[in-house]
Structure 1
Amino acid sequence: MRMRKVVVLMELVRYTLMNKNTPVLSFEYDMQSHQAVRITDSRNVEAAPFGMVDRHGRVSKKELNYWWHHRAIPASRTQIKLLLENLKLESTLELAEKSFGLSLSDCYWLNDERDPKNWDVVNFFDNDFSDDLGFLTLGQDSAGSSLNAFDYGSVNFSSPNGTLGGDLLKKWKIVRGQRVLLKSGLGAFNQEPYNELAATELHRRLMEPGEFVPYWLFEDGRRVYSACANLLGPDEELIPAWDVIRGAKQPNNLSDLQFYVKRCTDVGLDGHVVMTKLAKMFAGDFVVANRDRHYRNFGIIRNVETLKVTRVAPVFDTGSCLWSDAEFLDVPADFLYMAKPFKMGGMRPEEQVKLFEGYFDWLDIEAIADYPETVRAVLGCSPNIPERRIATIVAEVKKRIDVLGHIAR
């Protein structure tokens, strides 16, 4: 039998990866498979996303596609499959393509060589953006309208929400000229937004201004969200911890934590400062039982103009805490979780905090003695969280403060 040859046609466009107005490299991109197929020119690879350049100073097609694919909304996000069906799109990468891959976490974007643009014209730090995609990714607008009533054929895709990561429903919104990130909660309790506020009150007691991102509650339609301002200035980018260590060989004599700190010192940060700031973050995570601290929601900050790493990123994204994923909180197993960094497979939260022994000179345990009552007051603002549940959470927070005090002695 004669085999029939199948010809796959590619729809190629030429993009230039930009860092603000600095061209990094040019490549051919297949609009059908949503990936780079050939790098055609490399110009300023030192301005490429951190971790993309290999030790020989080159960028591979594989690394370029790795970066690009992780720029899209994850397919695991709630309701994203339905959204793509309604928009008649096959991949969340199409959402990123429609807005030049622009983000509010860095200054990278794709310049279409058929119709080249300028950073000053396209960026979302300075220019307004549509709320259409944000409405769709969050699920409800300020009028309380449902997704079913939305006109999907008229969507304006000019928005940083096409590159917004994470599984929780969220969106960027311009509020009185400020870029504000709104995040929804899960389930009947909608506890996560209140958790962010409770965590902020703890961070105020443990940290200096600038070491954490303050959150507040924001009502939009019929639901309450957590809200925070962008942690970056217009000339800054967030480098997640995963990108700090990815691609570098870890010496056998260094633990995961030691390796991360070494990578931070390699790019110019002070190791003692890094350890102290990590100690503050993980001490706070321990008190509120943050089960979702991972290598992509902490890191360092780099200036995109000088390409110098300037500081440790402030603490952000602490909403998955206070046992918000447990329905009843009536058996010991409901309070258990594995702390993710810095051990393969995770570790007990107490073990994680003990990694920072010797770096707790800053801790005044008396300053957080009244914190459990603050948790009670914050969670009590929610009409959806039962008083019995709040009382259980408060009691557990008290226990964790006592344990932290013993570890830090």
Structure 2
Amino acid sequence: MKYILMHRETVVAVLSVNDISGTVYRVDDVLQPAHLPIGLYAPDHKELAKNLNLWLAGRTIPASRSGFHRALEDLQVQKKLQLSASTLMMKCFALSLSDQYWLNPAEQPLEWSKVNFYNNDFSEDVGNILFGQIPQQDSIDLASPCNTSDGWLKKKWKILNCQRVLVKGGSGMAQQEPFNEVVASLLCRKVGIPHVEYSLLFEGDKPYSVCPNMTTDRQDFVSAYYIFSAFPRADGVSAYDHFLACCEKLGIPDVPERLQQMMILDYLICNQDRHFGNFGAIRDAVTLEWVGFAPIFDSGTSLWFDQYASKIDALADAPAKPFAATQQAQLALARDGLPALNLAALDDCKDEVLAIFEQAHFGEPNRANILVDALAVRCKILQAKQ
């Protein structure tokens, strides 16, 4: 079936796509190469089709998503619906709340103004299904931005008070990640790092983090992965230097300062999972001009979330991503950013952090206090390096 790759209202390319699997088996024409997703340009249509398939695969719910396979099984048993991550993506025409790209059926074309999730209501059916709640009604509306959300933690998009928000859960016994997101927001506010603001939401006895969408209806979030892939990496060039060079060639402003701030925060909270998919830059989808580095988001896999309280050691070095294997080594890349941050503001945050963690039911005695004390030690270490 023919689909038009659209960038908002701009016709980018004509594609032949399997509308069940979402596989691009041929690129028929490219009309606006400048509007192709960053990092996907290829010298021939065959290579572009390969790149588009990898890109579209990234717009599907990953197999590792908590509860996803169980949700699909329940749908098959209770509703006789056989769905996959790819068919869910195609049900919403690959529309997202992260950027303005989508697939428009060529034979029955749709209007951006009537289908985009930024300005139109969307069903909560898919989000509820992903949270283990199969709708009672016979008819299920599968048009949802949840279909194109990535990440392994349970999550869903909702409209709350006319605002698009992402609701995300935790993992393991402690379910600590939502609380970590709120603590990371607090620390960013204290020291002056641009960030997405997180709050807590409880549904039943389960904690979730809630954050507003960071893009508008004319902005694209471009992940660091695609920025990093925009140009070939020369032999002997570090990942850090190559990423900075790519940003400079693309014209993304203020990257070194903002990248250093991100790595300083990750050192402070021992973030173990700052991969190339959860940071990046924001671009204007109409003018193609860069707005700048994206605000910090997705900091939940931190603060010893997967360790028993008795094993937490604030003085120990910790694994890091994406530019070095340890937090100490990565902080060395960010030292120039330390003087610009108000690290003295961390002195009075201990009670506020404790108030956040005390809302949790960690299942371990005194875990909240141990976490607060460990974070306080990290604050002192970072201040001493300033």
**1:4 corresponds to which residue?**
none
**2:378 corresponds to which residue?**
400
Q: Secondary structure at the match of 1:359?
A: helix
Deviates more, 1:356-365 or 1:174-183: 356-365
Q: Secondary structure at the match of 1:82?
A: helix
Amino acid aligned to 2:219: E
Q: Secondary structure at the match of 2:335?
A: coil
CA distance in 2, matches of 1:319, 1:136: 23
Task: Give the TM-score normalised by the residue count of structure 1.
Answer: 0.87
- In structure 2, the CA distance between the partners of 1:153 and 1:52, relative to structure 1 (3 Å rule), is farther
1:335, CA displacement in angstroms? 6.7
Report if aligned partners of 1:216, 1:228 keep a CA contact under 8 Å in 2: yes
Report if aligned partners of 2:15, 2:28 keep a CA contact under 8 Å in 1: yes
Q: Secondary structure at the match of 1:109?
A: strand
After superposition, give the CA deviation of every residue in 1:217-272 in whole Å (9 maximum; x if it has no partner): 123344331101100111101000011011521123532111111111111134xx
Paired residues for 1:20-169 under 5 Å = 20-31=8-19, 33-54=21-42, 60-87=48-75, 88-89=81-82, 91-139=84-132, 146-147=133-134, 150-151=135-136, 153-169=138-154
Q: How many residues align?
A: 381
After superposition, give the CA deviation of every residue in 1:299-342 in whole Å (9 maximum; x if it has no partner): 01100000111211000011111111123433659976410111
Paired residues for 1:181-260 under 5 Å = 181-207=166-192, 211-260=194-243
After superposition, give the CA deviation of every residue in 1:142-163 in whole Å (9 maximum; x if it has no partner): xxxx44xx44852200110000
Larger radius of gyration: 1
1:192, CA displacement in angstroms? 1.3
Please point out which of 307, 312, 330 is paired with 1:352: 330
Report if aligned partners of 1:323, 1:335 keep a CA contact under 8 Å in 2: no
Report if aligned partners of 2:156, 2:166 keep a CA contact under 8 Å in 1: yes
1:402, CA displacement in angstroms? 2.1
Q: Secondary structure at the match of 2:65?
A: coil
- In structure 2, the CA distance between the partners of 1:197 and 1:32, relative to structure 1 (3 Å rule), is closer
1:57, CA displacement in angstroms? 9.8
CA distance in 1, matches of 2:10, 2:289: 16
Report if aligned partners of 1:300, 1:313 keep a CA contact under 8 Å in 2: yes
CA distance in 1, matches of 2:313, 2:384: 22
Please point out which of 280, 285, 288 is paired with 1:304: 285
CA distance in 1, matches of 2:229, 2:139: 40
Gap regions ≥5 residues in structure 1: 1-12, 140-145
After superposition, give the CA deviation of every residue in 1:376-406 in whole Å (9 maximum; x if it has no partner): 2210122345452122212221221122123
- In structure 2, the CA distance between the partners of 1:158 and 1:302, relative to structure 1 (3 Å rule), is same
Amino acid aligned to 2:375: V
Q: Secondary structure at the match of 1:373?
A: helix
CA distance in 1, matches of 2:240, 2:273: 17
Paired residues for 1:303-342 under 5 Å = 303-330=284-311, 337-342=318-323
Report if aligned partners of 1:45, 1:59 keep a CA contact under 8 Å in 2: no
After superposition, give the CA deviation of every residue in 1:34-61 in whole Å (9 maximum; x if it has no partner): 3111111211121111111136899611
- In structure 2, the CA distance between the partners of 1:32 and 1:178, relative to structure 1 (3 Å rule), is closer
Amino acid aligned to 1:359: G
1:351, CA displacement in angstroms? 1.2
**1:269 corresponds to which residue?**
252
Report if aligned partners of 2:315, 2:378 keep a CA contact under 8 Å in 1: no
Report if aligned partners of 1:380, 1:387 keep a CA contact under 8 Å in 2: no
Q: Secondary structure at the match of 2:16?
A: strand
Amino acid aligned to 2:158: K
User: Once superposed, what is the RMSD of the aligned Cα atoms?
Assistant: 2.2
- In structure 2, the CA distance between the partners of 1:330 and 1:201, relative to structure 1 (3 Å rule), is same
Gap regions ≥5 residues in structure 2: 76-80
Report if aligned partners of 1:206, 1:280 keep a CA contact under 8 Å in 2: no
Deviates more, 1:376-385 or 1:241-250: 376-385
Deviates more, 1:371-380 or 1:73-82: 371-380
Amino acid aligned to 1:400: R
- In structure 2, the CA distance between the partners of 1:269 and 1:32, relative to structure 1 (3 Å rule), is closer
After superposition, give the CA deviation of every residue in 1:33-89 in whole Å (9 maximum; x if it has no partner): 431111112111211111111368996110111111111000111121122223343
After superposition, give the CA deviation of every residue in 1:90-148 in whole Å (9 maximum; x if it has no partner): 52011000011100000111111121101001000000000000111123xxxxxx44x
Please point out which of 347, 351, 368 is paired with 1:369: 347
CA distance in 1, matches of 2:93, 2:156: 17
